[in-house]
Amino acid sequence: MKNSFGNNITVTLFGESHGEYIGAVLDGLAPGIKIDREYIEVKLALRRPSGKISTARVESDEFKIVSGEFRGYTTGAPICILIPNTNKRSADYGDEMDIPRPSHADYTAHVKYHGYEDHRGGGHFSGRLTAAIVAAGALLGSALESRGIRIGSHITELHGAFDRPFEDFESDIALLSGKQFPTLTESAEASMKKEIEKAQSLGDSVGGILESAIIGMPAGVGEPWFDSMESMLSHALFSIPAVKGVEFGLGFAFADVYGSEGNDPFEVKDGEVKTISNNNGGINGGITNGMPITFRTVIKPTPTIFKDQASVSLSKMENTVLKSGGRHDPAIIHRARAVVDAMAAIVMADALTGRYGTDYLAEKN
């Protein structure tokens, strides 16, 4: 099992959905990075279920930092963030995992870990662990903001309901930072929530597409081949449970344009080299070009649904029908937004410290 990511700053995830704690260890941080608890709490709240379109399992996410912090700043030692699991109902899951939930990780985890895996609530594979990603990403995200780098995502599409695309990145990202349900228009929020409620009333679930932007990244950050900016971002994004696709800039729509339409011509603007369009999503040759980094991430419908589904009994090796219990979201996309932003912050912090040194994120530099 491998649970660490990053080259210069590494994040290691640990814990299970129904264990005592989940958490993250951040290593490679410079001393002197301010730890903004309020900022971390705000980001955790954006991931937390809320309202009738979310699961009834609400955790307060009262995190502790048990290592690497002194007087509100990083010391340079590994940061260990602990988040307790307080709202568990393990009885919903039985003693042994027998009937795997279609499209969840129950079957693949069972095959790989021979039944030793903690299957309760999805165990180590649960979306619950994404709270630890959000906390780690928020710690780095606030340091990035002090360097003028900001990240935002909105739901651009959800089961036939659409939001408008990003227009003014600065003001759109500012608007999204305070929104529990991340859309740029009120009408999109209403129509998407209606779709989620409809799926919920059917005992079903829906997915959608998040559109994200990172602004303020200097040109010249990233690597040309295996650790290209796209490779590192998609590696981190595909590590989020339920992510099944990532595209940058124009993405798959490049298939339908001429080179003359898809290319991003250069211009000098306010004494800096810019591109007139941004179809390449701010990245050329794996390296940032100074334009906003733009990407889209598709989140599949929540696998656990309240409808009968064909499955198998692993103990009897026969076909059966799974009747799902437990507590689940009819959609996770609005909560996954905080995780996508956190992953983007982790990748930017990793890439920037690779380029400029670990002190880049510290206050005195």
Q: Which residues bind ligand FMN (CB under 6 A)?
A: 55, 104-105, 122, 125-127, 130, 240-242, 300, 302-304, 328-329, 332, 335-336, 339
Nearer to ligand FMN, 35 or 332 (CB): 332
Query: What is the Cα–Cα distance from 41 to 122, expressed in whole angstroms?
Result: 24
Per-residue CA distances from 248 to 285, 296, 315 (Å): 13, 6, 44
Query: What is the Cα–Cα distance from 353 to 149, expressed in whole angstroms?
Result: 14
Query: Residue 210 forms beta bridges with which residues?
Result: 155, 297
Nearer to ligand FMN, 343 or 348 (CB): 343
Nearer to ligand FMN, 154 or 328 (CB): 328
Nearer to ligand FMN, 177 or 239 (CB): 239
- Which pair of structure tokens corresponds to residue 138? 């928020």
Nearer to ligand FMN, 68 or 121 (CB): 121
Query: What is the Cα–Cα distance from 255 to 247, expressed in whole angstroms?
Result: 12
Pairing of strands 309-313, 293-299: unpaired
Q: Which residues contact 171 (CB under 8 A, 6 or more apart)?
A: none
Q: Closest approach of Cβ 212 to ligand FMN, in Å?
A: 14
Nearer to ligand FMN, 150 or 334 (CB): 334
Closest CA to 110 of 124, 321, 119, 318: 119
Q: Closest approach of Cβ 234 to ligand FMN, in Å?
A: 13
Q: Closest approach of Cβ 134 to ligand FMN, in Å?
A: 9
Query: What is the Cα–Cα distance from 337 to 329, expressed in whole angstroms?
Result: 14
Q: Closest approach of Cβ 125 to ligand FMN, in Å?
A: 4
Nearer to ligand FMN, 17 or 353 (CB): 17
Nearer to ligand FMN, 55 or 263 (CB): 55
Q: Closest approach of Cβ 180 to ligand FMN, in Å?
A: 14
Q: Closest approach of Cβ 293 to ligand FMN, in Å?
A: 21
Nearer to ligand FMN, 235 or 300 (CB): 300
Task: Determine the Cα angle at 279 with ends 274 and 280, to 5°.
Answer: 80
The DSSP secondary structure of 199-215, one letter per residue, reads HHHTT----EEEEEEEE
Reported as half-sphere exposure (CB side, CA atoms, 13 A), residue 259 has a value of 0
Starting at the edge strand that comes first in sequence, how are the strands of the sheet with 161-162 ordered?
A: 161-162, 150-158, 208-215, 293-299, 243-248
Amino acid at position 125, single letter: F
> H helices of the chain, where?
37-47, 106-113, 130-146, 169-177, 186-201, 229-238, 259-262, 333-356
Nearer to ligand FMN, 210 or 229 (CB): 210
Query: Residue 84 forms beta bridges with which residues?
Result: 21
Q: Closest approach of Cβ 237 to ligand FMN, in Å?
A: 11
Q: Closest approach of Cβ 285 to ligand FMN, in Å?
A: 29
Q: Closest approach of Cβ 326 to ligand FMN, in Å?
A: 8
Query: What is the Cα–Cα distance from 294 to 281, expressed in whole angstroms?
Result: 5
Q: Closest approach of Cβ 256 to ligand FMN, in Å?
A: 28
Q: Which residue is nearest to ligand FMN (CB)?
A: 127
How many C-beta neighbours within 10 Å does residue 27 have?
17
